[in-house]
C-alpha cells in the first residue's frame, strides 16, 4: 500500500506538492496564508524573502513542523531556520524536509542579506535540492533565489521575491523545480497592526492574490488571518511570546485539498523589547 501511495505521489505532483513545489513554511506565514514577502521580519524570511533578514537585530532560530497535511502523514514536512545579524550583514541557513522513507525531498539553504541606510534591503539564497525515491535512485540540483524590500514610508513597505531564479531542474527527466515570483505591500497604520496585500505567480499556474492581517491586542499575543485565490484558501493562526520564546500555530483550508495545520517554535535571543 505504501509503495502504491508513493507511486501516486510521484505522478500527481501538482496535487501532492512533489518535486519541491511551492508550499508555506512556518506557522506564522501559514496563518497569513503565505502573505509574508513584504513583511519578512524573522528567520522564516529565508523561505519568503531573504532581503528581510537584515531587518533583524538579534540571533534567531525557528523550528517548524506540519505533521499530516490534508490528513496524510506521508506529506509531513519540517524545517529549521537560523539567522545571525552581524556588522557585515545578516547570514542565514535553513533545512527543510518533506515526505517519508519511500519519497524524501531535502532542501538546504544558505542566505545573505544587507541594507542601504535602513531603507533598501536585498538578499539571496543558495539552494541545494536533494530528492531520493526508494528503489529509484536519487538526484541533486542547485539554485538561487533573490529578494528585495523597501521601506517606502514609516508605515508602508514593499517586497519582492524570486524563487528558483535560475530555473533549475532535477533528475534525468529534467523536472523543473518550482519557479515562483511574489510581490506586495505591508501597510502598518499603527505599531500593533499589519495589513498585507500580495500577489504570487508560479510559472506553472495562474496568478494568485493574497490578503492578510496580523494584530497584537497585547504585547505577548498575536492573532492573524488571510485569504487567497487560485486556489481559494482561508487561513488563520495565533502566536504567544514569552521571554525569548514564541510559539505559533496556523491552519489553512484549501477548497480543493481540505484542511491542514502546523506549529512552530521560535527562539529570538533578543527577547521581548519595548
Q: How many CA atoms lie within 13 A of 37 on its CB side?
A: 26
Residue 24 CA to residue 213 CA, distance in Å, equals 17
Nearest to 182 by CA among 61, 36, 55, 3: 36
Q: What pLDDT was estimated at residue 117?
A: 92
**CA 251 to chain centroid:** 14
Residue 198 CA to residue 38 CA, distance in Å, equals 8
Read off the C-alpha cell for 85: 545579524
Q: What pLDDT was estimated at residue 155?
A: 95
Read off the C-alpha cell for 71: 490528513
Residue 67 CA to residue 263 CA, distance in Å, equals 9
Cell 491586542 appears where?
217
Q: What pLDDT was estimated at residue 137?
A: 83
Burial label, 57 (beta-carbon count in 10 A; 0-12, 13-18, 19+) = exposed
Q: What pLDDT was estimated at residue 273?
A: 56
Burial state string for 82-94 with b = 16 or more CB within 10 A and e = fewer than 16: bbbbeeebbbbbb
Read off the C-alpha cell for 260: 491542514
Q: What pLDDT was estimated at residue 124?
A: 98
Read off the C-alpha cell for 20: 519541491
Nearest to 160 by CA among 41, 22, 27, 39: 39
Three-class SS string for the chain? CHHHHHHHHHHCHHHHCCCCCCCCCCHHHHHCCCCCCCCCCCCCHHHHCHHHHHHCCCCEEEEEEECCHHHCHHHCEEEEEEEEEECCEEEEEEEEEEEECCEEEEEEEEEEEEEECCCEEEEEEEEEEEEEECCCCEEEEEEEEEEEEEECCCCEEEEEEEECCCCCEECCCCEECCCEEEEEEEEEEECCEEEEEEEEEECCCCCEEEEEEEEEEECCEEEEEEEECCCCEEEEEEEEEECCEEEEEEEEEECCCEEEEEEEEEEECCCCCC
The topology under which CATH files domain 2-268 is: Porin (2.40.160)
Low-confidence ranges of the chain (pLDDT < 70): 1-19, 272-274
Q: pLDDT of 7-34, one tens digit each?
A: 444 444 433 344 687 788 999 999 999 9
Burial label, 52 (beta-carbon count in 10 A; 0-12, 13-18, 19+) = buried
Measured from the Cβ of residue 142, the count of other Cβ atoms closer than 10 Å reads 11
Q: What pLDDT was estimated at residue 19?
A: 66
Amino acid at each position: 500500500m505504501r509503495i502504491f501511495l508513493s507511486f501516486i505521489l510521484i505522478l500527481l505532483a501538482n496535487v501532492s506538492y512533489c518535486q519541491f513545489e511551492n508550499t508555506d513554511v512556518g506557522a506564522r506565514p501559514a496563518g497569513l496564508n503565505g502573505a509574508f514577502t513584504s513583511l519578512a521580519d524573522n528567520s522564516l524570511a529565508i523561505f519568503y524573502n531573504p532581503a528581510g533578514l537584515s531587518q533583524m537585530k538579534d540571533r534567531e532560530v525557528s523550528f517548524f513542523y506540519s505533521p499530516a497535511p490534508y490528513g496524510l502523514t506521508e506529506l509531513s514536512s519540517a524545517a529549521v531556520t537560523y539567522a545571525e545579524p552581524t556588522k557585515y550583514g545578516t547570514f542565514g541557513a535553513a533545512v527543510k524536509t518533506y515526505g517519508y522513507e519511500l519519497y524524501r525531498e531535502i532542501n538546504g539553504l544558505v542566505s545573505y542579506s544587507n541594507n542601504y541606510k535602513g531603507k533598501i534591503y536585498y538578499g539571496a539564497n543558495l539552494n541545494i535540492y536533494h530528492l531520493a525515491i526508494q528503489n529509484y535512485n536519487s538526484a541533486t540540483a542547485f539554485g538561487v533565489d533573490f529578494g528585495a524590500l523597501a521601506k517606502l514610508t514609516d508605515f508602508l513597505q514593499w517586497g519582492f521575491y524570486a524563487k528558483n531564479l535560475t530555473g533549475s531542474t532535477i533528475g534525468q527527466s529534467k523536472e523543473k523545480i518550482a519557479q515562483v515570483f511574489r510581490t506586495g505591500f505591508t501597510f502598518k497604520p499603527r505599531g500593533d497592526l499589519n495589513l498585507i496585500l500580495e500577489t504570487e505567480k508560479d510559472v506553472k499556474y495562474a496568478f494568485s492574490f493574497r490578503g492578510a492581517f496580523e494584530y497584537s491586542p497585547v504585547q505577548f499575543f498575536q492573532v492573524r488571518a488571510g485569504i487567497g485565490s487560485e486556489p481559494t484558501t482561508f487561513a488563520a493562526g495565533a502566536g504567544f511570546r514569552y521571554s525569548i520564546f514564541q510559539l505559533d500555530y496556523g491552519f489553512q483550508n484549501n477548497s480543493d485539498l481540505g484542511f491542514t495545520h502546523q506549529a512552530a517554535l521560535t527562539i529570538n535571543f533578543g527577547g521581548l523589547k519595548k
